[in-house]
Amino acid sequence: MQELATYHLTTMKNSYLLLLLVSFLILSPGLGIKTGELAEAACMMSPIHLPNCSHEACVQSCVEKYGECINGGCIDYQTCCCRF
In this structure, what is the dihedral angle of CA atoms 24, 25, 28, 33, given to the nearest 10 degrees?
180
Q: Do 42 and 26 share a structural domain?
A: no
3-state DSSP helix/strand/coil percent for the chain, to nearest 5? 55, 10, 35
Q: Do 42 and 17 share a structural domain?
A: no
pLDDT tens digits, one per residue of 10-25: 665 556 555 544 555 5
Q: Do 43 and 71 share a structural domain?
A: yes
Q: Do 45 and 23 share a structural domain?
A: no
Q: Do 63 and 43 share a structural domain?
A: yes
Q: How many domains does the chain have?
A: 2
pLDDT tens digits, one per residue of 26-62: 555 544 444 445 445 557 667 889 999 999 999 899 8
Q: Do 44 and 21 share a structural domain?
A: no
Residue 6 to residue 46: CA distance in whole angstroms: 55
Domain holding 24, by residue range, is 1-31
Cβ 17 vs Cβ 53: under 8 Å: no
Residue 48 to residue 65: CA distance in whole angstroms: 9
